[in-house]
Amino acid sequence: MILHAKRRRATVAINRLGEVCVLSEPAGDAGHDGYGKSTADEQFVSFGVERVVKVYGSGATNPVSERHLGGRLPADSPLLVLTHDTAVQAGFRVVYAGETFEIDSMTTYPTHVEANTTLVTGSA
């Protein structure tokens, strides 16, 4: 059982240190091919804002530089830390400091939620 004080401390820290980000969800139901990939360009609709903290893993020595390309998206994958009651789900997008990240997967902890992401568009 989690003490409410720990959850409250995590929420306060995210609200104090986090940056206000725009949250977007997929709009409509695009068709998919046999591999689960969308056959049309996906459209996203903004539905709110939340404070988010961006964290890089221990292997990221220079988080500003792009490490390598893989597939259709650059492989710049920070971890986003969100409050425990976030409205974000896998497949949604978060605009953080002018960069758009797509949520790949989420890990829920009693105090917060960590989202693994992929950079979709960067600031030009």
- Cβ pair 63, 99 in contact under 8 A: no
Burial of 83 (0-12, 13-18, 19+ CB in 10 A): buried
Query: For every one of its 124 residues, what pLDDT tens digit does the chain have, with 9 covering 90 and above?
Result: 556 888 999 999 999 999 999 999 988 766 666 666 666 667 888 999 999 998 876 554 455 555 555 544 444 678 899 999 999 999 899 999 889 999 999 999 999 999 999 888 755 4
CATH topology of domain 4-27+43-57+73-121: Thrombin, subunit H (2.40.10)
What pLDDT is stored for residue 103 in this prediction?
Answer: 92
Q: Give, as one character, the DSSP assignment of residue 78.
A: P
Question: How many C-beta atoms surround the C-beta of residue 94 within 10 A?
Answer: 24
> What is the reported pTM?
0.73
